[in-house]
Chains A and B, each alone.
Chain A
């Protein structure tokens, strides 16, 4: 590379390497970093590339290695204003590491993330103004009230005078913590603490929210309330929300799209419906088929034995009050199976295709790899 080419790189740091670079490495057809239009974008799949809005959150070829451990390995995705994206994966999959990098709390080994167009590597200060991060567990200060806590963060984000009071009031009302404003934060319940944490992330009215396990440890009511708040944030306030959780039923209800990550790599990224329909590629000799569920009034053990002897039936297992199994036959064969079942004297009360959930998709997609 000549000196002038080097100067050109200095002028435009994120520019692709010049042709000289490729030829010098002796590897043809090499491109640098995934072009933005090729970054996975399931919610915008039907929208022409030039008509898509600007993404508020964009991850490009993100890597984070801890020695030999690839905590995050070439992760790329985009999200847009008003969207809630779920980030699903087993423990140690790289969710929190990715979120910490987006929140400017860690540096990637390679790649970059952009929040409202600002790089987390090059412009962390600008990113912080646009982003709210709620970590998995956040500490509470002693000798501090709810309102003082929010007031401090409003000051820390540069709010002054009336603006600061309005910001605190807005958050207190949104999170329904107004009645608790004068309570010491150490005395708040887990649910209320999570609300306070959410309020803190909202104090500077960020465009992107990163929520790491916000529903962990909450009771059902608190979970539903938190879910409603997150829905409001995206639907009414047009915020982009990236949320990780192990409670997949919750995510299925609030997310527009989700990415399933395991061992640092995104395995599947799509809309919730796409994920639910997603079936892993099967081997040619794999005879398993669509999942079916059958409920009988009695003799469920006999039915299980009987099902195992039937053609096209595999993976028979009890689930709640039913038996679930996989059926590889067509519709006519399915009807015939039901007919024969009744003919055998089983009092069938339910015979239906088992509805696919995000949990099923998660179990079928991930392999339980621990790095």
Chain B
């Protein structure tokens, strides 16, 4: 493919974008901001380094253990399980916790107000965070993929099994990341924060347990085995159970990131000749869940019948 046709193809893919330099402009601003912050954070550097060192260490250790039989014993599954378990740690614990902390900081650091008065809406803010979490996970995948390839070369594990394992880790990462993010967005006070943190950690442990079990089963038996049917059934059950919970938590999180309820409308006022307020009049099309209750001189206005 010539560079010209590649460019035209990319332009088609990018819609009205004039050139490739405009591509990052289409990214969610929250995603860009959080990605920059994440890449600079100490926790990310340490986790990435630890992940690499652990993978290297595990690879060297297993090679030394299997050195006599490594070429004919199809030791790929053992290596794959080991690498995927190591990968599951940052995916199930570090990524959701990072998202939890980032979302909760919007409340505790008093940055949410300033963020809310931009043109970003709540969905964009939460989406940006979520995709940052997935990008975060993607960098950890990059660290482990060479080791997964190495285990494939050792034999005993199919390419499809590895791809399915990766797909499962992506799926579980998305769920646990979403869980951490939404609970972080709900953590608007110290007590809520502690409670949400506890729930996040419980979710992480559950996800880690299920993910590692699935990976052990999948890598051991292969994707086309009879156990895979049970695995698929289990996965559907898991989804049926978690999807409503995630939906409810997402709704609560959106409420916490939205400072003003767009449905509620203020009252109108009626004045006398001297400019004093005599009545509050309900708007025809609005919910007034917060009726004014001034003491003393200002009488409460009864909502007009045909306006409520």
B residues less than 8 Å from A103 (CB atoms)? 117
Chain B 246-285 interface 0/1 with A at a Cβ cutoff of 8 Å (1 = within): 0000000000000111101111111111010111110111
How far is the CB of B218 from the nearest CB of chain A, in Å? 37
What interface size band does chain B fall in? 35 or more
Taken together as a complex, chains A and B put the C-alpha atoms of A33 and B267 apart, in Å, by 11
**How far is B278's CA from A110's CA once the two chains are assembled, in angstroms?**
12
Across the interface, which residues of A come within 8 angstroms of B277, CB to CB? 61, 63, 74, 110
From B41, B109, B114, B262, residue with most partner A Cβ within 10 Å: B114
**Interface contact A110-B109, CB-CB below 8 Å:** no
**Which residues B160-179 have CB closer than 8 A to chain A?**
none
The smallest C-beta distance from B103 to any residue of chain A, in angstroms, reads: 13
A38 and B260 alpha carbons, distance in the complex (Å): 30
CB distance B119 to A160 under 8 Å? no
A292 CB within 8 Å of chain B: no
CA distance A294 to B266 in the complex (A): 54
Q: In whole angstroms, how far apart are the Cα atoms of A164 and B27 in the complex?
A: 14
- Provide the residues of chain B in CB contact with A27, threshold 8 Å: 272, 278
The reply on B86 being an interface residue by CB < 8 A is no
| CB of A187 within 8 Å of the partner chain | no
Nearest 5 interchain pairs by C-beta:
A139-B109, A155-B29, A156-B118, A139-B111, A110-B267
Sample of 30 A–B contacts (CB below 8 Å): A1-B304, A21-B304, A27-B278, A31-B273, A32-B268, A32-B270, A34-B275, A38-B275, A63-B267, A74-B269, A104-B260, A105-B117, A106-B259, A109-B266, A109-B292, A110-B268, A111-B268, A124-B262, A138-B113, A140-B109, A141-B109, A141-B111, A144-B40, A152-B33, A155-B25, A156-B29, A160-B25, A161-B21, A164-B25, A200-B114
A128-B118, A143-B37 known; 20 other A-B pairs, CB under 8 Å? A17-B270, A21-B304, A29-B273, A31-B273, A32-B268, A61-B269, A63-B277, A67-B293, A104-B117, A107-B264, A108-B266, A109-B267, A109-B280, A111-B266, A121-B265, A121-B266, A144-B33, A160-B22, A164-B25, A200-B114
Interface residues, chain B, CB within 8 Å of chain A?
A: 21-22, 25, 29-30, 32-33, 36-38, 40-41, 105, 109-111, 113-120, 259-262, 264-273, 275, 277-281, 283-285, 290, 292-295, 304, 306-307
